[in-house]
């Protein structure tokens, strides 16, 4: 997954500017992002503080790691079932 060039703190700062009344077009031009990116950030990080955003990222990383473990275990189980079914 591509890493953003903006940190969580920067994203939340930009969103706070938007909620303070700066237009989306002005923010997009000033920070070099598209308006679509701004609205995507708003849907993901809207109303969060920096600590909340960091915790969200930690939870997403942990969830990704756990999903990978489950996928690996599922493959192991399928391989073992295939071996057992061939022997009998």
Tens digits of residue pLDDT in 35-83: 999 999 999 998 889 999 899 999 999 999 999 999 999 999 999 999 9
Task: Supply the pLDDT for residue 75.
Answer: 96
- Reported as a pLDDT band with limits 50, 70 and 90, residue 5 is confident
Task: Supply the pLDDT for residue 86.
Answer: 82
**What CA–CA distance (Å, rounded) separates 42 from 33?**
13
Compare 18 and 88 and report the one with higher pLDDT: 18
The answer, yes or no, to whether residue 11 has pLDDT greater than 90, is yes
């Amino acid at each position: 997954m591509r890493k953003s060039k903006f940190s969580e703190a920067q994203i939340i700062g930009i969103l706070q500017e938007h909620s303070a009344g700066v237009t989306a077009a002005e923010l997009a031009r000033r920070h070099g992002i598209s308006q679509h990116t701004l609205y995507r950030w708003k849907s993901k990080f809207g109303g969060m503080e920096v600590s909340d955003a960091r915790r969200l990222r930690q939870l997403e990383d942990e969830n990704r790691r756990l999903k990978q473990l489950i996928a690996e275990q599922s493959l192991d189980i399928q391989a073992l079932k295939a071996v057992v079914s061939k022997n009998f």
